[in-house]
Amino acid sequence: MLNKMRLIQITAIFSLLLTSPAVMAQETCFSLDTALTVVRAQEYAPLIAQAAEGTTPEQVEFLSFVESGRWSVVYAATPVADPGYFFFEKVSGKNQFKDVWSGMADPSEQPELVKWAETLGAPTELATCFAETAAAE
């Protein structure tokens, strides 16, 4: 559980970054849920820390969030790697980590990124939002 001071820090960050400008700039992301809340941070921080071995939940820095149906993508930074797009699928009411994509993408690589995310099982709209956002970073 996050301590009170950490919650205050997270709340301050979220008040500035409720949504990433890169995500909001992408037209396909407009219809998706991009609300990055303290509750979501508390839910996803341990999952991301577990996926990024050597990281604690308190070290996870949330950069953006997008959700479509049972699928979500958290763009987050950890001290052990470059920022990455962490993909989750909700199964039986619990988010399960599926994979992470990290790196730089060129706009010409968007179709390849969409296909990669869809291969995980992500819905097309979420996959397209991810690909456009990753190429815009």
**Residue ranges per domain, the chain?**
4-102
Task: Quote the pLDDT of residue 86.
Answer: 98
Task: Quote the pLDDT of residue 87.
Answer: 98
Q: What is the spatial distance between Cα 22 and Cα 94, in angstroms, rounded to a whole number?
A: 27
Instruction: Mark the ranges of the chain whose per-residue pLDDT is less than 50.
Output: 4-5, 8-9, 11-25
* Residues near 15 by beta carbon (within 8 Å), at least 6 away in sequence: none
Task: Quote the pLDDT of residue 81.
Answer: 87
Task: Quote the pLDDT of residue 6.
Answer: 57
pLDDT digits (tens, 9 = 90+) for 2-29: 554 455 445 434 433 444 444 444 677 9
Task: Quote the pLDDT of residue 11.
Answer: 43
Distance set, CA 85 to CA 2, 3, 12 (Å):
22, 26, 22
> Radius of gyration over alpha carbons of the chain, in Å?
14
